[in-house]
């Protein structure tokens, strides 16, 4: 029957169960208020299926009696558009944090002014040649020239080696990022299967979906991704399976762009895994085709930009390695040209000068190919260990040579203020109309480090502000408000108490009827 005492009691019981469920959901929200990735949940209530009012002269009528309240679903509150925005901007933040970290390390390599920096050592080197002009034949003065030259070459090598150490750190960072990405893919793939099993059973696996979304958020910090939901057709109806696909941009073996699903339920394993070739991240798709990740944001992209040696910019290690190489090659070549044209103290006037600087490989062999000259390999010429080979003299008529000749030392000392320019190949060349000196060339790229550091810092601050704003928006939608949950709990409690009182009234009515029958 659609009326009567016991019908009413059933309405009351359903009300108790609904309010109790809502209170449990509220308690779950409060318990997870500080759980990372958790989205608040709500118990959606709807009226039960209404029944017609019975009568003596008709079996149904226009009026209907409700059957109480039911919980239609417990669902989480989530805004997918905000999720998409946060993942996109979080990826950019991770990229710039990585680039800022790298350029900050580079900045420590070129801290100026410093007593041990290249600028100071260059000054001491030129000062030693200035002193040699005064005392060209005195051995201790020549020894100072040799020692300051060795110190300068060592500073070039040390700076270059520190840049290489930063590159090695980036390589290790990429290895960790790839391992982390693969771990995330495995976890997302596993959750996909669990979510589908529960979803197709008619329930909402809210907590599992929160966990999966958090993993996708973490993956988006590593690389830019595209997330899509999977749908299936059942009995002519399209339903969501609860699964997702995650795609990345790649280039195939022909260099053509391609979109590859790295998370895809149609794959045997449910996901692909990344490999690594130096700073290139690779993957093989389900058809055994090789692809190279073409990330445009995220930590992976930041590492690639910081370690890029193909088209380096002012936040990459390779950019400053190239600058250091240009400086070392140009300074040594120009100085060597003058030094080699002079005369040393060994059996003059027949013994002309030799190169002051030399480039040696890791085995100590002299490098003769200018294309292989690098600050990493800069040394003084081993012959200069005998300071008599320092060519301080220069004369047009060798018969006029004497140990006190200082013309060549003067020419080398004047390099301190000589003018240079960069040719079409990016090499330093003597040019009286040039706008560069050795010192200004070095100061310019040290300044570039500072500017690049400030720019990266500004980008990190801007992205952090944007991500925080989006996170606040997300929190206002999906976050748990203790005050709001407390208010809901009180509301559900009062409804529960009212339903209890309603059942008590019906119980009293039933008792009256039963007692009346006894009478």
Location of structure tokens 């009234």: 505
Give the pLDDT band (50/70/90) at residue 197.
very high
Location of structure tokens 């150490």: 165
Exposed / middle / buried, residue 315 (Cβ in 10 Å: 0-12, 13-18, 19+): buried
CA distance 398 to 342: 11
What are 380's strand-pairing partners?
Answer: 357
Location of structure tokens 């005492």: 5
**Token code pair at residue 28:** 């779950």
Buried b (16+ CB within 10 A) or exposed e, 1-30: eeeebeebbbbbebbbbbbebbbebbebbb
Q: End-to-end CA distance of the chain: give it in Å, rounded.
A: 26
CB distance 246 to 253 below 8 Å? no
What are 516's strand-pairing partners?
Answer: none
pLDDT of residue 57: 60
DSSP letters for 127-171: HHHHHHHH-TT-HHHHHHHHHHHHHHHHHHHHHHHHHHHHHHHHH
CA distance 137 to 154: 26
CB distance 381 to 344 below 8 Å? no
Buried b (16+ CB within 10 A) or exposed e, 52-63: eeeeeeeeeeee
pLDDT digits (tens, 9 = 90+) for 411-430: 999 999 999 999 988 889 88
pLDDT digits (tens, 9 = 90+) for 281-295: 999 887 788 899 999
Query: pTM above the 0.75 mark?
Result: yes
Extract the runs of DSSP E, i.e. beta strands, from 18-100. Answer: 41-47, 51-52, 64-65, 69-76
**Token code pair at residue 249:** 């941009």
Weakest-pLDDT range from 128-142, 244-258, 314-328: 244-258
> What are the residues whose beta carbons fall under 8 Å from the beta carbon of 442, sequence distance 6 or more?
118, 119, 122, 327
Instruction: Tell me the percentage of the chain whose pLDDT exceeds 70.
Output: 94
CB distance 52 to 2 below 8 Å? yes
Average pLDDT, the chain: 90
Buried b (16+ CB within 10 A) or exposed e, 346-355: bebeeebbbb
Q: Which of 425, 420, 423, 396 is nearest to 408 (CA)?
A: 396
Average pLDDT value for residue range 210-234: 92
DSSP letters for 72-91: EEEEE---HHHHHHHHHHHH
DSSP letters for 258-317: EEEEEE-TTSSSSB--EEEETTEEEEE-TTS-EEEE--SSHHHHHHHHHH--SS--TTSH
| Secondary element (H or E) of residue 459 | helix 438-478
- Given a cut of 70, whether residue 398 has pLDDT beyond it is no
CA distance 62 to 79: 41
pLDDT digits (tens, 9 = 90+) for 8-67: 899 999 999 999 999 999 999 999 999 999 999 999 999 988 887 766 665 555 567 888
Extract the runs of DSSP E, i.e. beta strands, from 356-437. Answer: 357-359, 378-380, 420-422, 428-430
pLDDT digits (tens, 9 = 90+) for 360-372: 999 999 999 988 9
Location of structure tokens 């029957």: 1
Location of structure tokens 């800069």: 378
CA distance 441 to 355: 23
pLDDT digits (tens, 9 = 90+) for 136-182: 999 999 999 999 999 999 999 999 999 999 999 999 999 999 999 99
What are 420's strand-pairing partners?
Answer: 430, 436
Q: Which of 319, 245, 317, 307 is nearest to 276 (CA)?
A: 307
Measured from the Cβ of residue 424, the count of other Cβ atoms closer than 10 Å reads: 6
Average pLDDT value for residue range 300-322: 90
What secondary structure letter does DSSP report for 366? B
Backbone angles phi, psi at 234, to 5 degrees: -125, 120
Q: Which of 50, 93, 95, 97 is nearest to 70 (CA)?
A: 50
């Amino acid at each position: 029957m659609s009326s009567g005492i016991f019908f009413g009691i059933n309405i009351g019981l359903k009300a108790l169960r609904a309010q109790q469920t809502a209170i449990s959901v509220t308690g779950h929200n409060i318990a997870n208020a500080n759980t990372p990735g958790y989205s608040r949940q709500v118990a959606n209530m709807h009226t039960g299926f209404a029944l017609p009012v019975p009568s003596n002269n008709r079996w149904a009528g226009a009026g209907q009696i409700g059957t109480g309240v039911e919980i239609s679903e417990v669902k989480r509150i989530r805004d997918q558009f905000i999720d998409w925005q946060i993942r996109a901007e979080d990826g950019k933040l991770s990229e710039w944090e990585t680039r800022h970290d790298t350029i900050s390390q580079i900045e420590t390599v070129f801290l100026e002014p410093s007593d041990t920096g290249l600028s100071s050592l260059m000054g001491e080197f030129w000062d030693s040649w200035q002193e040699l002009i005064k005392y060209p034949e005195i051995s201790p003065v020549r020894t100072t020239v040799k020692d300051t030259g060795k110190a300068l070459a060592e500073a070039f090598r040390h700076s270059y080696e520190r840049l290489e150490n930063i590159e090695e750190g980036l390589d290790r960072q990429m290895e960790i990022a790839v391992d982390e990405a693969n771990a995330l893919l495995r976890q997302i793939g596993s959750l996909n299967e669990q979510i589908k099993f529960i979803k197709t059973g008619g329930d909402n696996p809210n907590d599992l979906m929160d966990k999966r979304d958090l993993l996708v958020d973490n993956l988006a910090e590593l690389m830019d991704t595209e997330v899509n939901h999977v749908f299936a057709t059942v009995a002519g109806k399209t339903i969501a399976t609860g699964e997702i696909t995650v795609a990345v941009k790649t280039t195939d073996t022909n260099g053509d762009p391609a979109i590859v699903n790295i998370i895809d339920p149609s794959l045997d394993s449910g996901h692909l895994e990344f490999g690594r070739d130096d700073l290139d991240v690779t993957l093989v798709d389900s058809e055994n085709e090789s692809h190279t990740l073409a990330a445009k944001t995220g930590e992976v992209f930041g590492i690639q930009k910081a370690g890029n040696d193909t088209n380096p910019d002012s936040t990459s290690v390779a950019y400053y390695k190239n600058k250091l190489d240009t400086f070392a090659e140009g300074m040594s070549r120009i100085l060597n040209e003058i030094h080699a044209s002079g005369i040393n103290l060994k059996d003059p006037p027949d013994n002309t000068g030799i190169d002051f600087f030399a480039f040696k490989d890791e085995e100590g062999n002299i490098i003769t190919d200018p294309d292989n000259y690098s600050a990493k390999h800069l040394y003084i010429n081993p012959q200069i260990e005998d300071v008599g080979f320092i060519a301080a003299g220069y004369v047009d008529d060798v018969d006029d040579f004497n140990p006190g000749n200082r013309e060549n030392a003067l020419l080398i000392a004047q390099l301190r203020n000589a003018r240079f320019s960069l040719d079409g190949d990016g090499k330093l060349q003597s040019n009286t109309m040039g706008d560069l000196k050795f010192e200004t060339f070095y100061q310019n790229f040290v300044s570039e480090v500072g500017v690049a550091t400030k720019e990266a810092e500004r980008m990190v601050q801007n992205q952090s502000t944007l991500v925080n704003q989006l996170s606040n928006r997300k929190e206002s939608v999906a976050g748990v408000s203790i005050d709001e949950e407390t208010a809901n709990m009180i509301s559900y409690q009062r409804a529960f108490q009212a339903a209890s009182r309603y059942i008590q009234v019906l119980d009293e009515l039933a008792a009256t009827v039963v007692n009346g029958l006894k009478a």
